[in-house]
Chain A
Amino acid sequence: MKECYLGVDIGSISTKGVIIDNNNKIITSAYIWTEGNPVEAVRKLLNILKDKLPKQYQVKGIGTTGSARKLIGLMLKACIVKNEITAHAIGTLTFYPNVRTILEIGGQDSKIILIKNGIITNYAMNTLCAAGTGSFLSSQAKRLGIKVEDFGDYALKSKNPVKIAARCTVFAESDLVHKSQVGYAKEDIIAGLCKSVVLNYLNNVGKGKKIVGPIIFQGGVSKNKGVVKYFKEILKEDIIVDENSHLMGAIGIAVLARRNKTGHTYSLELKNVKFITKAFECHRCPNTCELLKIYRNDELVDSWGSKCGKY
Chain B
Amino acid sequence: MIKIAFPHMGDYHIPANYLLSHIFPNTIVIKAPKITSKTIELGTKHSPEFVCTPFKYTLGTMIECLDEGANILIQMGGGCRYGYYAELQEKILKDLDYNCKVINLVTEGQTNIKRINNLLKQIDPKYSKIKALYYGFITLKMVKYMDKIDDYIRENIGFELTVGSFESLKEEMLITFSHVKSYKELYRAYKRYLKKFHNIKVHKPDNRLKIGIIGELYTIMEPFSNYYLEKELAKHHIEIKRFTNVHYLLFEKAHKYKKYKKYSKEYFTYNMGADASDNIARSKYLCEHNYDGIIHIKSSFCTPEIGAMPIINKIASFYHKPVLFFSFDSATSETGINTRLEAFYDMLEMRKDK
Contact = CB atoms under 8 A, between A and B. Distances in A.
A285 B317 CA distance: 44
Contact of A120 (B33, B36, B38, B347): B347
Contact of A119 (B33, B343, B344, B354): B354
Contacts of A83: 339, 342-343, 346
B232 to A, nearest CB: 13
Nearest to B342: A83
Interface string B20-36: 00000000000001101
B281 to A, nearest CB: 20
A121 B322 contact: yes
A121 B351 contact: yes
B36 A287 contact: yes
Interface in B283-336: 310, 313, 317, 320, 322, 327, 335-336
A158 B350 CA distance: 44
Interface string A52-88: 0000000000000001000000000000001111100
A82 to B, nearest CB: 7
B38 A123 contact: no
Given A117-B354, A119-B354, A86 B37 contact: no
B335 A119 contact: no
Contact of A85 (B39, B339, B354): B339
Contact of B38 (A82, A125, A286): A286
B350 A120 contact: yes
A287 B38 contact: yes
Contacts of B181: none
A208 interface: yes
Contacts of B317: 210
A129 to B, nearest CB: 12
Nearest to A288: B37
A122 B339 contact: no
B313 A208 contact: yes
B217 to A, nearest CB: 22
B340 interface: yes
Contacts of B347: 85-86, 119-123
B226 to A, nearest CB: 14
B339 A125 contact: yes
Chain B residues touching A, majority SS? helix
Contacts of B340: 85, 125
A222 B286 CA distance: 38
Contact of A288 (B34, B38, B350): B38
Contacts of A82: 342, 346
Q: In the complex, which of the residues B33, B36, B39, B351 has the most CB atoms of chain A within 10 Å of its own CB atom? A: B36
Contact of B346 (A86, A121, A127, A289): A86
Contacts, number: 57
A120 B37 CA distance: 36
Contacts of B34: 285
A88 to B, nearest CB: 10
B342 A119 contact: no
Contacts of A67: 335
Interface string A267-311: 000000000000000000111110000000000000000000000
Interface residues of B, number: 24
Given A83-B343, A84-B339, A119 B38 contact: no
A125 B310 CA distance: 17
A122 B322 contact: yes
B300 to A, nearest CB: 10
Interface string B66-95: 000000000000000000000000000000
Contacts of B327: 127
Contacts of A121: 320, 322, 347, 351
Contacts of B346: 82-83, 85-86, 120
A84 B343 CA distance: 8
A66 to B, nearest CB: 10
Contact of A86 (B313, B343, B354): B343
Interface in B1-44: 33-34, 36-39
Interface in A96-135: 117, 119-123, 125, 127
B39 A286 contact: yes
Nearest to B39: A286
A24 to B, nearest CB: 18
A73 to B, nearest CB: 13
A248 B160 CA distance: 38
B344 to A, nearest CB: 8
Contacts of B343: 83, 85-86, 123, 125
A120 B346 CA distance: 9
B124 to A, nearest CB: 32
Nearest to B340: A125
A208 B36 CA distance: 36
A208 B310 contact: yes
A268 to B, nearest CB: 27
A234 B87 CA distance: 49
Nearest to B344: A123
Contacts of A125: 336, 339-340, 343
30 contacts: A82-B342, A83-B342, A83-B346, A84-B339, A85-B340, A85-B347, A86-B346, A86-B347, A117-B354, A119-B347, A119-B351, A119-B354, A120-B347, A120-B350, A121-B320, A121-B322, A122-B322, A122-B347, A123-B343, A125-B336, A125-B343, A127-B336, A208-B310, A208-B313, A210-B317, A285-B34, A286-B36, A286-B39, A287-B36, A287-B38
Given A86-B346, A120-B347, A123-B343, 6 more contacts: A85-B343, A120-B350, A123-B347, A125-B343, A210-B317, A287-B37
Nearest 3 CB-CB pairs, A to B?
A286-B38, A85-B343, A286-B36
Interface of B: 33-34, 36-39, 310, 313, 317, 320, 322, 327, 335-336, 339-340, 342-344, 346-347, 350-351, 354
